[in-house]
Amino acid sequence: MSELKVDKVSPRTGTYVSLNTVGSKNIIINGDMSIAQRGTSTASVTSSGYYACDRWRTGFDTAGTWTISQDTDVPSAQGFQKSTKIDCTTANGSLSAGSLFYIQQIFEGQNLQYLKKGTSSAESLTVSFWVKSVKTGTYICELKDDNNRTISKSYTIDSASTWEKKTITFAGDTTGTIDNDNTAGLEISWWLVAGTTFTSGTLQTSWDSLTNANRAVGQVNLADNTANNFWITGAQLEAGTTASDFEFLPYDVNLDRCLRYYELVGSGLGIFFANGHYYTNTYIRTSYKYRKIMRTAPSLDIASGTSYYRITRNGGTDYFDDLTLSSSADKSGLLINTTDVSGTAGQTGDLRTNTNGYIAFDAEL
C-alpha cells in the first residue's frame, strides 16, 4: 500500500517536515467527488476534458450533449455527501461508428511502481464504486496502460434509478512495465456510449494490445434519450483481488492531492490573488507560488474580458482585461503579468479578480 505524504511546518524550527499521516490505498483521487474547484456544474459538454469534480475527465466524440455536475444524490447511509451526475440534454440515438463517451481518471506512472506491472509478480487491481442510472443494462469499465495495453470488464445496472455498489477485479499484467515518471501510466474509464468502432469485436477481458473493436462490446447507449442520467461516487481502485471499505480522507488532504494537477487561484468579485507592481507605466508584474508543487509546469487557465481584473494602488484602482505568463513556469511557481493598464512605474498594489474574473493553473494529465 502506498502512503500519502503531507507537508507540515515544524513549530520549533519553522522548516517543512514530511509526515506519513495517511495511508492511501486508493489510486483514484477524489473518489468521493467532494472537490470541485472548476465549479459545480458545466452545461453543453460536447468534447473531451475536465469538468466539475476534480481529476475526473471525459473522453468524448459525437455522443450527444451533456451537463456534468457535482450532485448531492448519494447512496443512503454510506458516508458520501457528493456524486458526479452526468445528464443527457441532447440525445443521439443513431451513433456514428466512432462515437464514444466515457469518464475516467489518469494516473502518474511513478505512483504505480508498487503494482509491479510487467513482472511475474504483477498485482491484480480491484475497483469498487457506487453507481446509479436511469438506463439499465450492460456497462463497461476499462484499464489502459502507457504501453497501449487494455483490459475491459462488464458490469450490469440492474434497477433503474437505484444506487448499486459494483466491484470488478482485473488480473495483474505480466507484460508491459509502466514508466517511472510523471506522465500518464494508467487510466481507468467508465464507458457510457460506444459506437461500432469499439463494440464490433469480442470484449477483451484479459490484458492484450489495444484493439478498438474489443474495448466496449455490449455497452448500452446512454445518449439515446434525454431522460438518461448517470451518477457515480465512492470510486476506489486498489491493489489486490478484494475491495476494502472506501477510504474517506479529510477534506484538506483530498484537496492537497487535487492541487498537484489543478489549482484555482481566484474566481468572482474581489478575490485577492497576489501583490503586484508597475514595472513600467503600462506593465504590471507579479509572481505566484503554487500552494503545492504541481505535476509539471502548468498552463494558465483564465477568463479574459473587459475589466475582469483590477489592481488597487496609491489610493485608486486600475482595471485590466487579462493576465499572461511572463516567463517559463516551473513546478513551484511562475511570473504573470498584464500590459493593458496605465499607471506609474514603481507603484505597488493588491491584485484581485473582478465579477467575471477566473484564474487557475492546470497541470492535468
CB-based contacts of 136, cutoff 8 Å, min separation 6: 156, 157, 158, 159, 160, 220
pLDDT digits (tens), the chain, 365 positions: 444 444 444 443 444 333 333 458 999 999 999 999 999 999 999 999 999 999 999 999 999 999 999 999 999 999 999 999 999 999 999 999 999 999 999 999 999 999 999 999 999 999 999 999 999 999 999 999 999 999 999 999 999 999 999 999 999 999 999 999 999 999 999 999 999 999 999 999 999 999 999 999 999 999 999 999 999 999 999 999 999 999 999 999 999 999 999 999 999 999 999 999 999 999 999 999 999 999 999 999 999 999 999 999 999 999 999 999 887 778 888 899 999 999 999 999 999 999 999 999 999 99
Domain span(s) for CATH 2.60.120.260 in the chain: 3-259
Distance CA 243, CA 232 (A): 17
Q: Is 148 exposed, middle or buried (0-12, 13-18, 19+ CB in 10 A)?
A: exposed
Gyration radius (Cα) of the chain, Å: 23
Distance CA 100, CA 61 (A): 5
Predicted local distance difference test score (pLDDT) of residue 23: 55
Cα angle vertex 242, ends 238, 246, to 5°?
Answer: 55
Domain 3-259 has CATH 2.60.120.260: yes
Q: Which three cell numbers stand for residue 213?
A: 473493436
User: In 3D, which of 126, 132, 341, 333 has the Cα closest to residue 239?
Assistant: 126
| 352 touches 273 (CB < 8 A) | yes
Distance CA 30, CA 36 (A): 9
Q: Which three cell numbers stand for residue 117?
A: 506491472
Predicted local distance difference test score (pLDDT) of residue 326: 82
